Structure 1
């Protein structure tokens, strides 16, 4: 089985707990002896690793067996700011429940890391809404678009009383982030990126009633 280590912590004297997201959902692995400098799984048992491990059916917590690193994402880990931004993906993963479509969500998460950019973070966040049941209605009806309103979760039009929380240009960017593959999304300038990220945070908080730490 493959999985992405989204959190780790020390456990007992020499072990680590690895919290891993997989196509089956969240799994906790005990990486025995991985805190020892001589451990052959020390490098496997690291945060933000894509790993392989032997699957044990019908268990949510078990020993890491036959573990190996498939991708350690050094391109992200080598930069503190990139690491901080990547952690947003795992914050958003916190909205996923046990009954959600883990196979699809895992594919989204893995793709965002493999095609990593600041845009892929936003794209993951907006794509994820579909699987959480909070998708934004972005199909226009022919009227002149004013933007998107958080409360209505939809495009709003000129002459309507609803406030546009993002403008027309940002709405176009939002459509691309939501529907295009990660490698097809163009770079977004810093001003629009910041505003779209704030919009994403505000949208999640309004519809889930859960505060996110701004990063």
Structure 2
């Protein structure tokens, strides 16, 4: 056997011996690191904050883990289950709520960031027994099937109508200087593109939003 083969053999032998030693440490429970290294390990404490959230015109004071999303607070701590958890990555729009009148994805924001903000969920859109015009329009035009995405669709549409009223253009807007942007079907589809419907009820969703927009103009 050549000197090169001996070196290769030794290398393989060293690898096998090292593997056996590692297996022995694991099975006997012997420490794999020094006590000094273990002492230097950082322990991460849970940080909580007392936060008052104004949701649907009512104040709720909560002691929150600072990492908790607004979505989880609304659903699991306040019982506002109209806010849906879909993708949990800000891609489907099922968790859309209004914060100070603007639509956001509740799964992408931390609850502690919204103290003193006005938060509105689907439960807060109606006035007592009187439905919001968008809610009535979705019923009249059959703008939902399974209904899972509907709360997010309606909250998003409410924010979208206000954006159009203020003259905020979209990628589908032809006249960027228009004071009052006409909400064509193309405009509505573009502005609502962040809200997905797995039942594909899009044609009726567009009709419902267009009807509500027309009623608002009247």
Answer yes or no: same fold by TM over 0.5.
no
Tell me the TM-score normalised to structure 1 length. Answer: 0.30
Point out the structure with max Rg over C-alpha. 2
Identify the structure with the greater strand proportion.
1
Of structures 1 and 2, the one scoring higher in RCO (CA 8 A, sep 6+) is 2
Tell me the TM-score normalised to structure 2 length. Answer: 0.30
Identify the structure with the greater helix proportion.
2
